[in-house]
């Protein structure tokens, strides 16, 4: 009845055509994260930030889940123990691949948030700078994504899962951004087994008991088959 907690990053969606952030042609080589992924950037130029997320939202809606997303959904459906998926990704490809109860610690592109009253609603394809909040009516609508300097979502729940799991698996993340990058240490200090599945060694590779390298669409289904006793 092994419980498994899985953290995913942009690498799991790379083969669905979604860009990653820090690879050679990653998103942060094209736009300054300070301009589009901070509250200060949004205050400075809300139009540019809404446009940036409108573009990413449309791209994410057109993307299809890949074999890695569907393999994790299969694991959730057939593994005897709980399988908790925590993602840093703001796309909904885990859900599109059949996964459930995914914890989006950095929010979601298909969500909108009112910076005035905190109301949340389903984001339209295109959000405007004076996007009215359906809750309070004020023009304070923003993408419901977590920007640098803001608190990621559902951290208590995540640490609760990290404290009660038998295995922690990190998939497709560079391990450059905290607090997600610290989850492996969190697991290690509690004597929990750790596994990394990534295209290349991440910043935290040395901290994992095991690190398997390769494209997610190959190494994730192979690992899931192993866990389900099919390999």
User: For binding to ligand APR (CB under 6 A), which residues are involved?
Assistant: 9-11, 14-15, 20-23, 26, 88, 106, 172-174, 176-177, 198-200, 202, 215-216
Nearest residue (CB) to ligand APR, 133 versus 172:
172
CB of 28 to ligand APR, least distance (A): 7
CB of 55 to ligand APR, least distance (A): 16
Under DSSP, is residue 32 helix (H, G, I), strand (E, B) or coil?
Answer: coil
Provide the H-helix boundaries in 132-215. 155-163, 183-189
CB of 215 to ligand APR, least distance (A): 4
106 labelled catalytic = yes
Nearest residue (CB) to ligand APR, 9 versus 143:
9
The CB-nearest residue to ligand APR is 11
Cβ contact 49:36 at 8 Å: yes
Query: CA nearest 126: which of 200, 55, 207, 188?
Result: 55
Q: For residue 217, how many other CB atoms are within 10 A of its CB?
A: 18
Nearest residue (CB) to ligand APR, 85 versus 133:
85
Nearest residue (CB) to ligand APR, 12 versus 192:
12
Nearest residue (CB) to ligand APR, 92 versus 198:
198
Q: For residue 64, how many other CB atoms are within 10 A of its CB?
A: 10
CB of 111 to ligand APR, least distance (A): 15
Round to whole Å and give the CA distance between 11 and 19. 8
Round to whole Å and give the CA distance between 141 and 123. 9
Query: CA nearest 216: which of 2, 3, 6, 4?
Result: 6
What contacts 108, CB < 8 A, 6 or more positions away?
90, 91, 92, 144, 145
Round to whole Å and give the CA distance between 216 and 182. 21
Candidates 79, 106, 119, 161; catalytic one: 106
CB of 174 to ligand APR, least distance (A): 3
Catalytic site residues? 106
């Amino acid at each position: 009845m092994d419980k498994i907690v899985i953290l995913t990053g942009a690498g799991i969606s790379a083969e669905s055509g979604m860009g990653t952030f820090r690879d050679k042609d990653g998103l942060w080589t094209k736009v300054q994260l300070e301009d589009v992924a901070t509250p200060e950037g949004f205050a400075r130029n809300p139009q540019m930030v809404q446009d940036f997320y409108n573009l990413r939202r449309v791209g994410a809606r057109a993307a299809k889940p890949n074999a890695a997303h569907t393999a994790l959904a299969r694991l959730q459906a057939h593994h005897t123990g709980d399988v908790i998926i925590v993602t840093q990704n703001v796309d909904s490809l885990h859900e599109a691949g059949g996964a459930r109860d995914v914890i989006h610690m950095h929010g979601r592109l298909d969500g909108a948030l009112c910076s005035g009253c905190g109301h949340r609603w389903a984001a339209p394809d295109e959000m405007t700078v004076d996007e009215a909040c359906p809750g309070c009516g004020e023009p304070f609508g923003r993408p419901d994504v977590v920007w640098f300097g803001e608190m990621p979502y559902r951290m208590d729940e995540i640490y609760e899962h990290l404290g009660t799991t038998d295995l922690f698996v990190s998939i497709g993340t560079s391990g450059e951004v905290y607090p997600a990058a610290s989850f492996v240490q969190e697991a290690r200090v509690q004597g929990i087994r750790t596994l990394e599945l990534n295209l290349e060694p991440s910043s935290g590779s040395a901290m994992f008991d095991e690190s398997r390298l390769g494209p997610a669409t190959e190494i994730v289904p192979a690992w899931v088959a192993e866990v389900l006793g099919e390999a």
